[in-house]
Chains A and B, each alone.
Chain A
């Protein structure tokens, strides 16, 4: 089960928050078409990518109209490398290494994700304190796994999930303005099968009409009450993609928020196959050498 969740986490971290290149303003798109465009572009960003991210989590309060952390945020930083494989690059391999905090430094996760449902995904977890790699497999593939937390933050795999648009009823509600930009307001309602695995009975998304960036997402529970809200900020063009560099998810029930900030994001990196193996997890020297090579490509 851990495998599924964490591999999803890695993929989605890289993919979900990256957005599509500037496009001509689409006209008369349906809700489904808008979402498909968002999805297509997300997939393109997961290939040959190197990213450095920071996750900050805190309790929050509101003062003078500003949402602010009410305690010192807990910060985690991580580095991730991913690459597409298989036909149309629909399979993928990725590795993520925690850099900070010291207690979790060196924890690593290697995931092989297969597009074909018949092949089980594979995940290896490396706990640095134990110095051992464990291959993690879920018991059976039919499981309804609970949405996993991304590195202990308020982000869950579900918040970051992509694809599976067939499992949602997608309605374009209206065209409006959010954070000073023109947006489409779209609602997605999971079908019966999807609802079984979902925390949310409905999600409302505000998509930037020009940049196809999610500026805001509202997640509702089974009572129709908003329980989480995601806000995108600092939308920038990074390596040809519009990206909300800072994404904040607020848990409205526990008054905690997590922010995910892309410190660096690079695509078009040539990732050697050998880097995406267990050796990178266990062999720190190898890892550092290879990472240095990857970073050199950026410079």
Chain B
């Protein structure tokens, strides 16, 4: 093993020479290939931005959701809750405004478009988006049935022309409050809040270019359509083997929902004088998500700026800024271009791949350049310095590449195609970052590199010298003015962040050498204290990890007080809740839903779940409610008839009445052949954890309620589904599988460490500092009671991967130095000195970059940014203090023979110098 490692190191040392020998050839090849890749990205990228890409198509609930949509139409809607500013949605002004707004939404074609802005926040309003509106319901067009004498009336809740007297207006309010089916669905109990339900056709629109089978050439009705029998009878032929054409529905992406939401808002915003609006539902949520993506782009730009500035300050040369950027950009171009050319469908997760390549690329380049620059500063000639730098860092880069690749490939075991693609593209990206660091970076550094550090000082060097020549008081004054300006212009939060960046940079630039020199002494003096401190943190965090709650919750996705969070809170507090679930009932029997016993079971199920979950569920609605209500109305509103009749004939006729008068409502509730129906459940917002439990319990209730009907309906299927419920459920599954992959990745990394370090003891030893950053971030979240959601977990493997990279660099370097020097002290000293600087630099750049994500409005991202930054910083502390302390205490030899185990840093330093 030892020999293999040393020869690998030598091979890496030779790599720059080999590459430079074919410089023009390599460069020309890379330029051509990259051009092809960029062309592929711009012309051939297939991006799936639909929310369905998150769903596992094989899940029974997902199948049920598809069937549900096909049968009953889209369940995607905007639930537009409004607060009447005069405190009463049934005041004259409020009712008039609600009537007008409802009319605007229903008959938008007649609106005067010159009264509306052309664009909102730079997005041009597209009026055609309003074609997605299928139905608008509000107090303005709700009806209730009333039986007076021999007349059955279907009256408007609010008459089109409002009555003159206030007394009569009061009656409208009183009547509305007595309509149980509408209370909480369309107005709150205190009538301060109202709601407009805008139903859409999202997810139920046939795909573009869909051609109906009847449009084929020469298609005609079969002969039975024109064949009357002699006895004046008529029978259509039928053939149950004939396949009914399946319609493929257009998938909806974030952009689609957002454009619709923006356009709808332009319409309702005109009523802001009267109402305050709280929209919930998929369209507003997707708009928020898209805003978050936009915000990520801004953060991304700032990130690149900070990264550029830090590289320049740390290395004091622009070549150190430009070349890593080029290397990383090339890696990204190839990692994106390859799937584009091979026709792989990408998702928004490509942004995470880019983030990963960026982080890994920086780590690779910084390690090489840190070594190269330090050899240059020691006076070595360019080519020799380059060769030495690769010899020192190449192997470690290879190992980190392999471990990170394994980490992300663990995701490829996921059931979800989008996660698999993410795993593979990321693995390819990580490899490419390594490949270009070895193949391209030497050529780039050969093209342009800093001259003799002493003779040819860079601008940054000059600036540094100038600063140091200033008097202490002047420095102090400048610092005070600088910090004051930062806080004044950027505010406390961002100001603190920039101040931290400045301070850390200052400390690292000016005192890195003294710090690194002091490290061996400190660790040698207090190894047990250091281990005890890290040990207690480790144990505390393990405890925290046991407390971690995996839960994705819409309301916890954003910061306190954000518009979307307020909307959810308002809807949950005042209305029937912001979420909906569907229980799909398929009897697989024609007219099955007309069976009184089945309807009674449906009614019982509704009663049971409403009773069992009074805090989670506000209301349920189904065909059973319709039958009961019609039965009562047809019997002079006698409450004794508020039940499902026992006679099938009666049920059938009550449904006949309902179907004749409200075919659209009927079709939304029960299939044409009365074999399928559904129970709609309005629920208050809850986390995915709760949903998951809810699904399981509900299935038990269903099995229990319908158990007596097996003989009559042997093929009865009852499934819980619904878009939002599915999303939550998938979020939970995703989070769990991510968590599992993460643990798997840690296991794989440990095995690789054991192999690389050539010793079980060494590998285990390396595992502890490797695990601490991961355990720390999750443990802290557990201790603070913060839930771990799907979004947070998506970035977790990236951050953990980066955090362990530095540890791997440290351990690999130490292992090689131990083999070369045969002395623990010497190996430790040289490792701290050589790797220490690079580890400090990468930590600075990456931790500060990730810390920037803490400012995201998306809490999942912000949490991971913050805890990720802490993990990366902590990994640095582990590398500098814990690893040396453990080496000093346990004196592992990693299979190297005849090692001098004496710990004497003074000698070691002397020998080296």
For chain A, residues 33 to 73, give those with C-beta under 8 angstroms from any C-beta of chain B: 52, 54, 56-63, 65-73
Nearest CB of B to A9, in Å: 8
Chain A residues, CB < 8 A from B214: 62, 67, 229, 250, 252
Q: Judge whether B154 and A138 touch: CB under 8 Å.
A: yes
Is A133 at the interface (CB under 8 A from chain B)? yes
Q: Judge whether B155 and A139 touch: CB under 8 Å.
A: yes
Given A261-B234, A264-B232, also A130-B664 (CB < 8 A):
no
Q: Judge whether B673 and A234 touch: CB under 8 Å.
A: no
Nearest CB of A to B240, in Å: 6
Nearest CB of B to A94, in Å: 15
Given A61-B245, A66-B222, A253-B206, also A156-B150 (CB < 8 A):
no
Nearest CB of B to A37, in Å: 25
Chain A residues, CB < 8 A from B190: none
Nearest CB of B to A22, in Å: 20
Chain A residues, CB < 8 A from B652: 103-104, 129
Cβ-neighbour of A63 out of B151, B218, B239, B649 (below 8 A): B239
Is B7 at the interface (CB under 8 A from chain A)? no
Chain A residues, CB < 8 A from B107: 196
Q: Judge whether A139 and B153 touch: CB under 8 Å.
A: yes
Is B110 at the interface (CB under 8 A from chain A)? yes
Given A139-B156, A148-B660, A263-B232, also A68-B239 (CB < 8 A):
yes
Given A103-B648, A134-B152, also A142-B242 (CB < 8 A):
no
Q: Judge whether B228 and A71 touch: CB under 8 Å.
A: no
For chain B, residues 658 to 706, give those with C-beta under 8 angstroms from any C-beta of chain A: 659-664, 666, 672-673
Is A277 at the interface (CB under 8 A from chain B)? no
Is A239 at the interface (CB under 8 A from chain B)? no
For chain A, residues 62 to 95, give those with C-beta under 8 angstroms from any C-beta of chain B: 62-63, 65-74
Q: Judge whether A71 and B661 touch: CB under 8 Å.
A: no
Q: Judge whether A134 and B151 touch: CB under 8 Å.
A: yes
Q: Judge whether B156 and A140 touch: CB under 8 Å.
A: yes
Q: Judge whether B153 and A137 touch: CB under 8 Å.
A: yes
Rounded to whole angstroms, the CA-CA distance of A223 and B129 in the bound complex is 11
Q: Judge whether B244 and A70 touch: CB under 8 Å.
A: yes
Q: Judge whether B657 and A137 touch: CB under 8 Å.
A: no
Rounded to whole angstroms, the CA-CA distance of A156 and B652 in the bound complex is 20
Rounded to whole angstroms, the CA-CA distance of A147 and B205 in the bound complex is 21
Rounded to whole angstroms, the CA-CA distance of A135 and B149 in the bound complex is 9
Chain B residues, CB < 8 A from A276: none
Is B710 at the interface (CB under 8 A from chain A)? no
Chain A residue with the shortest CB-CB distance to B229: A263
Cβ-neighbour of B247 out of A57, A136, A253 (below 8 A): A253
Chain A residues, CB < 8 A from B222: 66-68
Is B450 at the interface (CB under 8 A from chain A)? no
Interface size class of B (residues with CB under 8 A): 35 or more
Q: Judge whether B225 and A62 touch: CB under 8 Å.
A: no
Cβ-neighbour of B219 out of A65, A70, A73, A146 (below 8 A): A65
Given A68-B238, A70-B242, A246-B226, also A135-B657 (CB < 8 A):
no
Q: Judge whether A136 and B634 touch: CB under 8 Å.
A: no
Q: Judge whether B219 and A62 touch: CB under 8 Å.
A: yes
Q: Judge whether B238 and A62 touch: CB under 8 Å.
A: no
Q: Judge whether A2 and B672 touch: CB under 8 Å.
A: no
Is A248 at the interface (CB under 8 A from chain B)? yes
For chain A, residues 225 to 271, give those with C-beta under 8 angstroms from any C-beta of chain B: 225-226, 229, 231, 233-234, 245-246, 248, 250, 252-256, 259, 261, 263-264
Chain B residue with the shortest CB-CB distance to A53: B234
Rounded to whole angstroms, the CA-CA distance of A52 and B231 in the bound complex is 13
Given A70-B244, A149-B660, also A248-B225 (CB < 8 A):
yes
Chain A residues, CB < 8 A from B590: 74
Q: Judge whether A74 and B109 touch: CB under 8 Å.
A: no
Nearest CB of B to A177, in Å: 14
Interface size on A, residues (CB 8 A): 75
Nearest CB of A to B145, in Å: 9
Given A103-B653, A148-B660, A149-B660, also A61-B242 (CB < 8 A):
yes
For chain B, residues 93 to 135, give those with C-beta under 8 angstroms from any C-beta of chain A: 106-107, 109-110, 131
Rounded to whole angstroms, the CA-CA distance of A140 and B162 in the bound complex is 13
Chain A residues, CB < 8 A from B110: 192
For chain A, residues 106 to 145, give those with C-beta under 8 angstroms from any C-beta of chain B: 107, 125, 127-130, 132-140, 142-143
Cβ-neighbour of A135 out of B152, B160, B659, B666 (below 8 A): B152
Chain B residues, CB < 8 A from A58: 236, 238
Is B213 at the interface (CB under 8 A from chain A)? yes
Contact mask for chain B residues 218-259; partner A; CB cutoff 8 A; 1 contact, 0 none: 111111111010001110111110111101000000000000
Is A195 at the interface (CB under 8 A from chain B)? yes
Could you say which of A156, A229, A233 has the most chain B C-beta atoms within 10 Å of its C-beta?
A233
Chain B residue with the shortest CB-CB distance to A146: B664
Q: Judge whether A5 and B661 touch: CB under 8 Å.
A: yes
Cβ-neighbour of B213 out of A62, A125, A134 (below 8 A): A62
Rounded to whole angstroms, the CA-CA distance of A204 and B532 in the bound complex is 85
Is B477 at the interface (CB under 8 A from chain A)? no
Rounded to whole angstroms, the CA-CA distance of A226 and B215 in the bound complex is 10
Chain B residue with the shortest CB-CB distance to A72: B238
Nearest CB of A to B648, in Å: 7
Cβ-neighbour of A61 out of B151, B221, B244 (below 8 A): B244
Given A73-B238, A140-B159, also A233-B657 (CB < 8 A):
no
Is A176 at the interface (CB under 8 A from chain B)? no
Q: Judge whether B220 and A66 touch: CB under 8 Å.
A: yes
Rounded to whole angstroms, the CA-CA distance of A60 and B150 in the bound complex is 41
Rounded to whole angstroms, the CA-CA distance of A136 and B148 in the bound complex is 10
Q: Judge whether B660 and A151 touch: CB under 8 Å.
A: yes
Nearest CB of B to A234, in Å: 4
Chain A residues, CB < 8 A from B237: 68-69
Is B640 at the interface (CB under 8 A from chain A)? no
Is A207 at the interface (CB under 8 A from chain B)? no
Chain B residues, CB < 8 A from A196: 106-107
Chain A residue with the shortest CB-CB distance to B218: A65
Is A30 at the interface (CB under 8 A from chain B)? no
Chain A residues, CB < 8 A from B533: none
Rounded to whole angstroms, the CA-CA distance of A137 and B145 in the bound complex is 11
Rounded to whole angstroms, the CA-CA distance of A253 and B160 in the bound complex is 33
Chain A residue with the shortest CB-CB distance to B650: A129
Chain B residues, CB < 8 A from A229: 214
Is B212 at the interface (CB under 8 A from chain A)? yes
Q: Judge whether A70 and B212 touch: CB under 8 Å.
A: no
Contact mask for chain B residues 455-474; partner A; CB cutoff 8 A; 1 contact, 0 none: 00000000000000000000
Is A152 at the interface (CB under 8 A from chain B)? yes
Chain A residues, CB < 8 A from B224: 68
Chain B residue with the shortest CB-CB distance to A61: B242
Q: Judge whether B663 and A233 touch: CB under 8 Å.
A: no
Cβ-neighbour of A65 out of B216, B594, B659 (below 8 A): B216
Chain B residue with the shortest CB-CB distance to A59: B244
Is B448 at the interface (CB under 8 A from chain A)? no
Could you say which of B107, B656, B661 has the most chain A C-beta atoms within 10 Å of its C-beta?
B661
Is B547 at the interface (CB under 8 A from chain A)? no
Rounded to whole angstroms, the CA-CA distance of A12 and B320 in the bound complex is 83
Chain A residues, CB < 8 A from B218: 65
Contacts A73-B236, A253-B206 supplied; 13 other A-B pairs, CB < 8 Å: A66-B220, A67-B219, A69-B236, A69-B237, A70-B238, A104-B656, A107-B653, A129-B650, A137-B153, A138-B154, A234-B228, A248-B225, A252-B214
10 closest cross-chain pairs (CB), A and B: A149-B663, A61-B242, A69-B238, A139-B155, A2-B661, A103-B652, A62-B213, A66-B222, A233-B226, A261-B234
Write 9 A-B pairs (CB below 8 A) sorted by A numbering. Answer: A5-B660, A58-B236, A61-B244, A107-B656, A140-B160, A146-B663, A192-B110, A196-B107, A255-B244
A residues apposed to B, CB below 8 Å? 1-2, 5-6, 9, 52, 54, 56-63, 65-74, 103-104, 107, 125, 127-130, 132-140, 142-143, 146-149, 151-152, 156, 192, 195-196, 222-223, 225-226, 229, 231, 233-234, 245-246, 248, 250, 252-256, 259, 261, 263-264
